[in-house]
Amino acid sequence: MSAAIAIDVGGTSMKSGLVDAAGRVLSHTSTPTPGSVPALLEEVAALVARHEREALGLGLGGSLPVGLVVPGIVDDMAGIAVHSANLHWDDVHMRDLASARLGRPVTFGHDVRAGALGEMRLGGHARSMVYVAVGTGIAAVIVLDGVPLVSGGWAGEIGQQLVIDPDSTRRVALEQVASAGAIASRYAQASGREVAGSREVFEAATAGDSAAASVIDTALEYLAESLADLSCALGPLPIVIGGGLAKAGEPMVSVLRDKVAELLDVTPMPTITTATLGASSQIIGAALAALDAAGTQVPDAQEAS
């Protein structure tokens, strides 16, 4: 049985796992994200050592392929973390630094593109699609015939599209209105009640909280406009929703679907579904990329069926 170690660096926490070629997460952990690149590399090394000990205990061998994914603007081909506002880094040659620290090649990439790879290969989705992660920010991956568009790391950054702030006439980034982080902060501002995250806002809306319902409806309106624009530009590619919005479940995605349908006239309506692999999609995608780089043949779900 082949396996790889995957590490997904987030703005506040790092998720890691030992993942086999079938996409099964054999072990996983979450640790706080260190505040500097040198400390991050040390934590990566510690996590790799931990999962390799687990692999030995499972009879999977010692030195395993490693996949590392990070947020922000990422140039996969050059191995560079171009920019991350949350982690305060610019032009970090992360692939080379991680490879040097571990003493072996590291497969490096963007966290959301890894999620798209996992969903495409093992989530049963089409090989041409748009994967949209709605979390702390908003990012999208455009996948055509199994290949994601990268464009130096800037492709798919729909969260940076400029929209009119619903509370003013200012132009702001889409993710300041429609991301899970924005939903939580805008609800706190509207209601005077602090919440831990967008899930509480979704729950409040379901329970009849009018402020929560208004914030969510506005977020879905703005997100629907962005998805409708994408469909007009790319054609009706299937859209897969991941991140915090996917956790809200089918009721919220159904509302989003209806809003997109209202906006499209000539362009056919795309299918809009939720991610299949859930919170594990990015870990699984990072592991698959590492296994691919190591020469391990991993069939996708459609090939295996």
Structure confidence at residue 135 (pLDDT): 84
The pLDDT profile of the chain, 305 residues, written as one tens digit per residue, is: 689 999 999 888 899 999 998 999 999 999 999 989 999 999 999 999 999 999 999 888 778 999 999 999 999 999 999 998 778 899 999 999 999 999 999 999 999 999 999 999 999 888 999 999 998 889 999 999 999 999 888 899 999 999 999 988 899 999 999 998 899 999 999 999 999 888 899 999 999 999 999 999 999 999 999 999 999 999 999 999 988 777 777 888 999 999 999 999 999 999 999 999 988 899 999 999 999 998 876 656 555 43
Q: Which two tokens stand for residue 32?
A: 């706080």
Average predicted confidence (pLDDT) for the chain: 91
Alpha-carbon torsion (251, 255, 256, 260), positive or negative: positive
Question: Within the chain, how many helices (H) and strands (E) appear?
Answer: 11, 15
3-state secondary structure of 54: helix
Structure confidence at residue 217 (pLDDT): 96
Structure confidence at residue 32 (pLDDT): 93
3-state secondary structure of 30: strand
How many residues make up the chain in this entry? Answer: 305
Residue type, 270: P
Cα–Cα distance between 183 and 189 in angstroms, integer? 10
Give the β-pairing of 162-164 and 25-32.
unpaired
Which of 42, 41, 230, 32 is closest to 149 using CA atoms? 230
- This prediction has a pTM of 0.88
